[in-house]
Structure 1
Amino acid sequence: MSGLEYDPHLYSGELNHREDHAPGDEPEESAGHWVRNSNLGLGFSVVLTVAAFLLAGSHLIYEPAIPVALIVLAIAQMGVHLVFFLHVTTGPDNTNNVLALAFGILVVFLIVAGSIWIMNHLNHNMMPMEQLIQMQR
Structure 2
Amino acid sequence: MSTPDLDRLHAGTLHHRADHAPGDEPPEESGHWVRNANLGLAFSIVLTAAAFLLAGSDVIYPPAVPVALIVLAIAQMGVHLVFFLHVTTGPDNTNNVLALAFGVLVVALIVVGSIWIMDHLTQNMMLMDQMMQMQP
TM over 0.5: yes
Distance in 1 (alpha carbons) for counterparts of 2:49 and 2:22: 44
Deviation at 1:130, TM superposition (A): 1.9
Question: Equivalent residue for 1:46?
Answer: 45
Q: Which has the higher contact order (CA 8 A, sep 6+)?
A: 1
Letter in 2 for 1:118: I
Distance in 2 (alpha carbons) for counterparts of 1:18 and 1:44: 30
Letter in 2 for 1:30: E
Deviation at 1:20, TM superposition (A): 4.5
Question: Equivalent residue for 2:114?
Answer: 115
Question: Equivalent residue for 1:37?
Answer: 36
Deviation at 1:31, TM superposition (A): 1.3
State the identity %: 76
Residues 89-108 of structure 1: per-residue CA shift (max 9 Å, x gap): 00000001001100110110
Question: Equivalent residue for 1:80?
Answer: 79
RMSD between aligned residues: 2.0
Deviation at 1:28, TM superposition (A): 3.8
Show structure 2 runs of 5+ residues with no match: 5-9, 11-19
Length, aligned pairs only: 120
Distance in 1 (alpha carbons) for counterparts of 2:114 and 2:22: 48
TM-score (norm. length: structure 2) = 0.81
2:42 is aligned with 1:69: no
